[in-house]
Structure 1
């Protein structure tokens, strides 16, 4: 069959009546657009996909590879690695029948309190844009579309559906729009419109940005899809550049948009342009007959890719006296401490969540790697407000469909497991036979939303509804509740546990149910004392600390950068007991580390994906080098942050700091951060030998001066030679990864495009002439070479 062209698309458009055209512009359900078989158009299917492709549900019987969080991906500072991640997710999308992945997220990390910080790449627009381009290219190699999101100013969660973000034009152009522009320039097929308003107009209806800038000025030929339920105006969103309104629920288009066209409020040629874009997207992703033949790239191994990405993303921020890497031959006993060492948090909360086929915890990874070493575990401090899911193979029954999960938790949004129809489902059950390892009081918990019955050995221990009647959908999803019961159990004696949930018919589209468990445990003081005693008698102590789903998630912002619970106290006490204390920070965004100078080494692992524990063991033992550099600044104190609070005032958040975001803001104040943008240590040392620069590139030569092969991220910053209060002291202009063996010298060329020396003015992009310092650096605060160039 001949490949179709845009002329063919126009011919297909002429075959559609108004109602059919408009039907293609709105969700037919939660995740898809309708098919029109007579023109060869199949249903276009979308799915969340920042770190794994969920598919049209969250079905635990169809798991998804879980890669490290986007912040972790950016920490590798490697667009080619991001392309590999995208290629794997394109592969996953094809496996799950998904045509369009809803990602990547390129909103900037304006404040570390942003609840969705972990799902964004960086505080720097250039780094964000380059990582996003790599990811988009990888996904689209499979003929799977991407939707870079959320255009624009969706940099926090508080009142995100209603808030109006006030951003000056120069700040928009220089800071917040460049990552989107870069993806459009690289050929991205989709953009997602944000919930919030910008400068007085909701983004779903913002013709200034979506029509004038995105489509006309940048020449974007893809689709603009709304965030889910962000389109709330029929005429406004139709005229404001939106192409697809999602989902079907509370959709303002359909019959209302048909009427608006017939009444003359919306010209039909506006509708035709949207439909052309949808048909072009369908052509690109293989949902329309006659599209280009898609030859997928070589298949990737999900576990191996997740493992590589994790190790490459870890950032070693402290390594006193070369504590790391550890020599396994010199170890007889290792203490692994922290609730998150056993119950690893591998991904962030909200739409970034998937159900992975398995997860490797830090404790599992270290034990596997040190099979001949005594590796002992202590909780130490537990920051989790909810009990973790029971680790026991559990049979889930939904109607006639059954499957097993471990641990005992089920979650989905949209399609039901097993292809079940929603009206037919009125409940589910989780049943397991659990054999306790310890004698004593065991705690079981029910969490989720709905009406439950919990039985232990046939005895009903809890029966009730966790949420009051009338609780809103958002509160149900983002604010689960928990009920706990205790039971005295004997070690080695099997126990039958059954949790039954009643679901109102027709409401099975959203389920998040967990059967939690905690074995007999000392009180908080006792847990810390137990951990300290273990650390004191061990060769080395590895303490895993981090945030919880109730701290970092889509849907709400953080209230503090402090680690939850008594984790800070735990680290200090363990470090005092063992000078070889290594802290692993399992968090997607910055946390305060008041103990930073007390410990021997600190390793940031972000949300590391399903292979995080295995990658951690490799890095601790030197099988792999920690390859990451900070994509965001980590503060010493909250009050030092140039931008922190994001609470709207009168429904408005004003970005009054202008272009001074992230490290740009840190550079113009006296307080220094704990760890600067770009910081990160490896297992070798680098000597920067020389640099040659002109107005178009910097050529940097460097040598691996250490005793191990390693990787370096060469960062090039540009600074006006004369102080300029209207511009940052310096800014990232380019970067490159290099690898070298000991004593090997390598040379890298880093382009300096014209935009490097430009600002946005009333007339558009304007080159600012004069003398500039060109700086080759290991990090923002670790400059190695400097030269000057004059720009005319």
Structure 2
């Protein structure tokens, strides 16, 4: 049914903090949204319930107390607290009579560490299932895929990786999983929302090539997975707010990528209401939003009526499809299983050394007879989630102390005389709204950890460090510990998963989705974060994370730049990869690869085969290596399996900022595969294959080849000299051009020398025939 202009305005303006408008007379129900990339956010749900009821306690200290103790009401003290608790409990029962608490799931950084699309899909299913149970129609932040540009970013834990290919292979599975349950996924924050400092309005000066190669691929992949909604970010990109960026929201997202869903703003990210609608931002959140600015804009002509109509229809279409009734039931077994699998697949073993000198026996797995002293930042308990939109209140979290007691003879909190094993949990929180000032841990904790590790070494105790952090930390003295595990923020089943790994029930198989530097000033973004006032320059360009470290290492292999690189992770067994080969296809149309992976140890386990592409000599500046394929695979002890992988044409392409297009350069490419404790730095020491692309490219030798390139290539220079001599042309012109304007093309120079058309064509043809020598 056609909507009136007033109805259209109602539909494009949020009507409550997490609710869209409804038009019962036009069969358009209300859409209820909620943050939920790591589980349902009760603070938001309770707040919206109170908004709709006009409840006076929203945002008060009473509300905070009830929220924090909702699953421990005995801790509530005052009459106001108990009254609010009872009211909220009754509201929840109307949605889900069984009152099952929402689950807390690992955030994007942990899902990135799984390197396993199926695991991510199962988490998406669980999230969608729980959202549907509570009557949530759009689950915000499913996924949050902003790239790990700088490790100090406050919401780093919500993003998946520093690598765009890994993001593009994993994040769409969360979309598919959520939407399989009849709930609309929401991909955020579009685009390049990489910091919290001055996030509302910060102007990010980003090179075009970095945008296309790093910051956009994950979003494009989620669009290809048919995501229902996209959230436009707070920031500006090169001077234009994302919510008012016609190139971003219409030309790229809709016209080029084919997105036909709904674009909503981040909460408070619309700075000019009419400009946002005109650019393609369909819904202004949060509500309630006054209708007056858009009514005035219609009257004065600054709001395009057809744009308003299209946005309103998108909002109505979303509501008609996804505003389904609450399912009112949560399958705890299924959802717990998904949370456990994500933690078990994503925990990374960083170190596993013998705990006594001269012994070959590794520290982990720990024997059942171990007597464990559990301690750490929070007395040995785990942080399971971050704060802000990703915060989850639940009574379903597993407890590390209790989980360890299921497997080991004696577990106590704090050091005790009979202990033969020390486990230290280093916890570092992260939150929306604030970037971390440093990657360093406080001096007090450094000293405490150092003393404990030294005590363990002096007394021949096993020592295990568990890094339970919202992002990488430096100065963690990892080398002082026999074993170390990266558990990130592992969700409600994290304690169960790490306990099962420590006892050997589960063989660790996670791989780092980011690089952990020795020092924050080693990061490529160190001097360009968080910017100067309201501007930040992405001066590192495409050299983010391992792309930067691997390229530096390639130039100086005697140096080391990080404590642990992207792709790194250990196992309780060992693996080898051999015989990487192309089974079919070609560079121009995509390749099908195969490789043999052998488990050379006595323990079954999973490994991640990682394939990196290297372009030995390129016209555009490129990183030394880039991830182009991977596959997580289970291999039994002393077994060999064949692994198949696909490499798309895009892996060999680069974005040319002068031509404003993807380009595929002719010449040689090298693919290398690695497994086990490998990482991006080690790509050149592993199974490899040499490929050649003979197609024409913008960089093929021809009339646009520069004098500099020809003069500095001995073979080309000799060919040019012969040509000039044979045709009686002045060589001095070539010398002068090289000295003063070396980037002039050979075509331009030959024309300036009055070279005949026949001779010109002869030399250009010679160049094209010689391009096989280019690499």
Q: TM-score, normalised by structure 2?
A: 0.76
Alpha-carbon distance between aligned partners in 2 of 1:93 and 1:285, rounded to the nearest angstrom: 12
Tell me the residue number matched to 2:681.
781
Tell me the residue number matched to 1:609.
491
Tell me the residue number matched to 1:626.
508
| Pairing 1:305–2:338 present | yes
Q: Which moved more, 1:63-72 or 1:336-345?
A: 336-345
Alpha-carbon distance between aligned partners in 1 of 2:640 and 2:454, rounded to the nearest angstrom: 42
Tell me the residue number matched to 2:172.
133
Residue by residue over 1:82-107, the C-alpha shift from the partner in whole angstroms, topping out at 9 and shown as x without a partner, is 00000000001101100101111111
Tell me the residue number matched to 2:521.
639
Alpha-carbon distance between aligned partners in 2 of 1:273 and 1:667, rounded to the nearest angstrom: 47
| Pairing 1:539–2:420 present | yes
Contact 1:633/1:673 (8 A) holds in 2 = yes
Contact 2:372/2:420 (8 A) holds in 1 = yes
Alpha-carbon distance between aligned partners in 1 of 2:563 and 2:115, rounded to the nearest angstrom: 20
| Pairing 1:345–2:383 present | yes
Contact 1:341/1:362 (8 A) holds in 2 = no
| Pairing 1:702–2:597 present | yes
Once the two structures are TM-superposed, the CA of residue 565 in structure 1 deviates from its matched residue by: 5.2
Alpha-carbon distance between aligned partners in 2 of 1:765 and 1:31, rounded to the nearest angstrom: 39
Secondary structure of 2:112's match? Answer: helix
Tell me the residue number matched to 1:664.
547
| Pairing 1:759–2:654 present | yes
Once the two structures are TM-superposed, the CA of residue 323 in structure 1 deviates from its matched residue by: 3.0
Contact 1:69/1:588 (8 A) holds in 2 = no
- Check 1:327–1:114 CA distance in 2 against 1; reply closer, same or farther (3 A cut): closer
Residue 316 of structure 2, aligned match among 279, 303, 320: 279
Alpha-carbon distance between aligned partners in 2 of 1:185 and 1:52, rounded to the nearest angstrom: 24
Once the two structures are TM-superposed, the CA of residue 131 in structure 1 deviates from its matched residue by: 1.4
Alpha-carbon distance between aligned partners in 2 of 1:267 and 1:311, rounded to the nearest angstrom: 52
Alpha-carbon distance between aligned partners in 2 of 1:287 and 1:262, rounded to the nearest angstrom: 36
Residue by residue over 1:44-95, the C-alpha shift from the partner in whole angstroms, topping out at 9 and shown as x without a partner, is 1111011002265255356320011210111001111100000000001101
Runs of 4+ displaced beyond 4 Å:
296-300
Contact 1:68/1:309 (8 A) holds in 2 = yes
Once the two structures are TM-superposed, the CA of residue 28 in structure 1 deviates from its matched residue by: 0.8
- Check 1:338–1:650 CA distance in 2 against 1; reply closer, same or farther (3 A cut): closer
Extract unaligned runs of 5+ from structure 1: 1-11, 289-293, 379-530
Contact 1:43/1:287 (8 A) holds in 2 = no
Alignment of 1:454-603 (within 5 A): 531=415, 534=416, 537-548=418-429, 552-564=430-442, 566-579=444-457, 580-603=462-485
Residue by residue over 1:699-743, the C-alpha shift from the partner in whole angstroms, topping out at 9 and shown as x without a partner, is 111111111111011111000022666111110101111111112
Alpha-carbon distance between aligned partners in 1 of 2:400 and 2:330, rounded to the nearest angstrom: 32
| Pairing 1:150–2:28 present | no
Q: Which moved more, 1:226-235 or 1:321-330?
A: 321-330
Secondary structure of 1:175's match? Answer: helix
Once the two structures are TM-superposed, the CA of residue 698 in structure 1 deviates from its matched residue by: 2.1
Alpha-carbon distance between aligned partners in 2 of 1:262 and 1:72, rounded to the nearest angstrom: 50
| Pairing 1:685–2:685 present | no
Once the two structures are TM-superposed, the CA of residue 767 in structure 1 deviates from its matched residue by: 1.1
Q: TM-score, normalised by structure 1?
A: 0.74
Alpha-carbon distance between aligned partners in 2 of 1:323 and 1:583, rounded to the nearest angstrom: 14
Tell me the residue number matched to 2:701.
none
Residue 123 of structure 2, aligned match among 82, 85, 101: 85
Alpha-carbon distance between aligned partners in 2 of 1:300 and 1:335, rounded to the nearest angstrom: 31
Residue 411 of structure 2, aligned match among 375, 378, 390: 375
Contact 1:41/1:287 (8 A) holds in 2 = no
User: Which one scores higher on RCO, CA 8 angstroms, separation ≥ 6?
Assistant: 1
Alpha-carbon distance between aligned partners in 2 of 1:77 and 1:748, rounded to the nearest angstrom: 15
Q: Which moved more, 1:314-323 or 1:767-776?
A: 314-323
Secondary structure of 1:664's match? Answer: helix
Contact 2:577/2:687 (8 A) holds in 1 = yes
Q: Which moved more, 1:143-152 or 1:695-704?
A: 695-704
Alignment of 1:736-775 (within 5 A): 736-761=631-656, 762-775=659-672
- Check 1:650–1:585 CA distance in 2 against 1; reply closer, same or farther (3 A cut): closer
Alpha-carbon distance between aligned partners in 2 of 1:297 and 1:179, rounded to the nearest angstrom: 30
Residue 199 of structure 2, aligned match among 160, 172, 179: 160
- Check 1:723–1:220 CA distance in 2 against 1; reply closer, same or farther (3 A cut): closer
Residue by residue over 1:559-599, the C-alpha shift from the partner in whole angstroms, topping out at 9 and shown as x without a partner, is 11112352222222122122321100110210014412221
Residue 4 of structure 2, aligned match among 1, 12, 17: 17
Radius of gyration: which is bigger?
A: 2
Alignment size in residue pairs: 611
Once the two structures are TM-superposed, the CA of residue 219 in structure 1 deviates from its matched residue by: 1.1
RMSD: 2.1
| Pairing 1:734–2:629 present | yes
More helix by proportion, 1 or 2?
2
Contact 2:168/2:222 (8 A) holds in 1 = yes
- Check 1:736–1:141 CA distance in 2 against 1; reply closer, same or farther (3 A cut): same
| Pairing 1:229–2:286 present | no
Alpha-carbon distance between aligned partners in 1 of 2:476 and 2:342, rounded to the nearest angstrom: 29
Tell me the residue number matched to 2:773.
none
Once the two structures are TM-superposed, the CA of residue 169 in structure 1 deviates from its matched residue by: 1.3
Extract unaligned runs of 5+ from structure 2: 47-66, 71-88, 93-100, 355-360, 696-775
Once the two structures are TM-superposed, the CA of residue 369 in structure 1 deviates from its matched residue by: 2.7
| Pairing 1:220–2:253 present | no
